[in-house]
């Protein structure tokens, strides 16, 4: 075949290795979008794989990466950091090596992202978690780091499917933002989908499988919905997963709240004269005139201390949260947030959850884990029953803030809004919140949104950080 030319200039001859690499990626795309194999792509890919000295098992969709590596242990090192290759020092491309990497990368990508449909067994979930662990290793992370939302933090002991043939990748944390933005949440979403398609109780009854589950909002929602049907080992493992998720979210939120709730220094209160408050630098500076060059000694006439007292005012925080099926994310986040506020000095926290009935969770508001175990997700929405519990708690309106979290799709809209407007007019600070989710997504009844806007209390909707920021003025 003669070469094609443009304007009399011969086109460059095609690179054989480039063609081989493209064959592997075309097969990958074909498999991802259509589970039916394309005979021509399969045969061509097999020829490429054998040509570069790799096992044909890489093309078997039913073979896990673990099984391939167990038969060919020399490949374990090639998967580590596979998709973050270091550039060649001379700036040249090793096209033969690129073909080999394409074959290995295609295997791990296909196993992770072609998750199929239909029912999922515990064994299939365990295999997927192991394959996802290999993908995370290929991206320069430890297994479990991306699914856990840590974006590549190399943390020993992270959850996930760790292969017995390797221990993951060490070294500096890779920057994945330019490589594949948002891959962590995507992996978490795939895993959550697999969990939904399987018998969760079967997994929870097996401690080994349960320990590999990555806590996520989807998983926690399922656990909370099914907790009354669990017992024994399954219930204990479910509680452990909920506790893990609560602790991880609380750690993040606690730092945000602490930054937002530090009051101004109260200089009307004299500093406490104890050694830990001694301002050594200021003391030396103020007494420099007493320095004796002959004796090489500083005589101190006065000690200076730091002010540590801060202006704080006792406040009452009433959190009312809709626990209907559409508000699970907000229920979990606000329960954790209420517990953090409950631990602050001079903040009196009350927590009420509702659907068609209201439940006063104040006695457990300091412990989000215990609070969540007492919630009952699902059902309709009737905010008037929650208002009946909240109104008597407003003893000093000027010293009270009411945070109401809901999508405001209510049964008795006018009656509820009038009672909310009455709370606002009484002098209490009323904060309607449409969603306090991790991702900042959520819908709000447009009728309520307009009414709150006219009232001068616009709905907060978005990331939970917005609510923390809004409460800053209340807490300081």
Question: Confidence class of residue 88 from pLDDT cuts 50, 70 and 90?
Answer: low
Q: Which residue has the higher pLDDT, 306 or 392?
A: 392
pLDDT beyond 90 at 390: yes
pLDDT beyond 80 at 140: yes
Q: Which range is least confidently modeled, 85-89, 157-161, 377-381? A: 157-161
Q: Which residue has the higher pLDDT, 187 or 252?
A: 187
Phi, psi of 82 (to 5 degrees): -55, -40
Q: Which range is least confidently modeled, 23-37, 208-222, 361-375? A: 208-222
Please give the share of the chain, as a percent, with pLDDT higher than 70: 75
Question: Confidence class of residue 435 from pLDDT cuts 50, 70 and 90?
Answer: low
Q: Which residue has the higher pLDDT, 249 or 416?
A: 416
**Cα distances (angstroms) measured from residue 304 to each of 288, 291, 310, 361:** 13, 17, 18, 47
pTM over cut 0.85: no
Q: Which range is least confidently modeled, 214-223, 229-238, 314-323? A: 214-223
Task: Provide mean pLDDT across the span 15-29.
Answer: 85
Q: What is the pLDDT of residue 271?
A: 62
pLDDT beyond 90 at 2: no
pLDDT beyond 90 at 392: yes
pLDDT beyond 80 at 132: yes
Q: Which residue has the higher pLDDT, 364 or 323?
A: 364
C-alpha to C-alpha distance for 295 and 166, rounded to whole angstroms: 67
Q: What mean pLDDT value characterizes the chain? A: 76
**Total residues found in the chain within this entry:** 476
pLDDT beyond 50 at 155: no
pLDDT beyond 70 at 369: yes
The CATH label, of 3.40.640.10, 3.40.190.10, 3.40.47.10, 3.40.50.410, for the domain at 315-475 is: 3.40.50.410
Mark 2-40 as b/e (b = at least 16 C-beta within 10 Å): eeeeeeeeeeeeeeebeebbebbebbbebbeeeeeeeee
Per 3-state DSSP, what percentage of the chain is helix, strand, and coil (rounded to 5)?
Answer: 50, 10, 40
Report for 67-71, 103-107, 252-256: range of highest mean pLDDT: 103-107
Task: Provide mean pLDDT across the span 97-112.
Answer: 89
């Amino acid at each position: 075949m003669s070469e094609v030319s443009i304007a009399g200039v011969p086109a460059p001859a095609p690179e054989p290795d480039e063609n081989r690499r493209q064959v592997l990626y075309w097969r990958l795309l074909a498999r991802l979008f259509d589970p039916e194999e394309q005979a021509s792509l399969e045969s061509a890919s097999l020829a490429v794989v054998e040509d570069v000295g790799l096992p044909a098992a890489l093309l078997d969709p039913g073979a896990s990466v673990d099984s391939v590596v167990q038969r060919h242990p020399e490949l374990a090192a090639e998967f580590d950091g596979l998709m973050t290759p270091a550039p060649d020092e001379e700036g040249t491309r090793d096209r033969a090596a690129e073909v080999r990497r394409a074959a290995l990368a295609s295997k791990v990508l296909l196993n992770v992202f072609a998750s199929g449909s239909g029912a999922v067994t515990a064994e299939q979930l365990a295999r997927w978690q192991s394959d996802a662990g290999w993908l995370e290793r290929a991206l320069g992370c430890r297994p479990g780091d991306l699914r856990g939302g840590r974006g590549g933090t190399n943390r020993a002991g992270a959850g996930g499917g760790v292969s017995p043939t390797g221990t993951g990748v060490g070294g500096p944390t890779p920057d994945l933002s330019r490589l594949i933005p948002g891959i962590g949440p995507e992996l978490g979403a795939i895993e959550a989908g697999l969990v939904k398609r399987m018998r969760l109780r079967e997994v929870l009854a097996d401690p080994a499988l349960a320990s590999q589950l990555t806590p996520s909002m989807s998983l926690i929602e399922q656990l909370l919905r099914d907790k009354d049907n669990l017992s024994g080992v399954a219930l204990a493992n479910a509680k452990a997963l909920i506790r893990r998720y609560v602790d991880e979210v609380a750690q993040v939120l606690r730092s945000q709240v602490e930054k937002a709730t530090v009051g101004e220094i109260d200089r009307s209160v004299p500093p406490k004269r104890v050694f830990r408050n001694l301002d050594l630098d200021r003391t030396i500076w103020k007494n420099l005139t007493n320095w004796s060059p002959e004796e090489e000694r500083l005589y101190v006439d006065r000690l200076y201390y730091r002010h540590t007292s801060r202006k704080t005012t006792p406040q009452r925080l009433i959190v009312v949260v809709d626990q209907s099926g559409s508000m699970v994310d907000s229920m979990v986040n606000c329960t954790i947030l209420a517990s953090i506020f409950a631990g602050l000095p001079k903040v009196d926290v009350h927590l009420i959850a509702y659907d068609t009935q209201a439940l006063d969770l104040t006695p457990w508001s300091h412990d989000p884990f215990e609070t969540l175990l007492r919630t009952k997700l699902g059902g309709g929405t009737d905010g008037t029953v929650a208002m009946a519990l909240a109104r008597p708690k407003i003893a000093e309106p000027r010293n009270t803030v009411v945070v109401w979290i809901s999508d405001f799709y209510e049964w008795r809209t006018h009656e509820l809004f009038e009672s909310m407007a009455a709370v606002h007019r009484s002098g209490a600070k009323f904060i309607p919140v449409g969603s306090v989710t991790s991702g900042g997504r959520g819908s709000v009844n447009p009728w309520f949104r307009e009414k709150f806007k006219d009232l001068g209390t616009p709905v907060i909707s978005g990331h939970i950080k917005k609510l923390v920021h809004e409460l800053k003025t209340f807490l300081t």
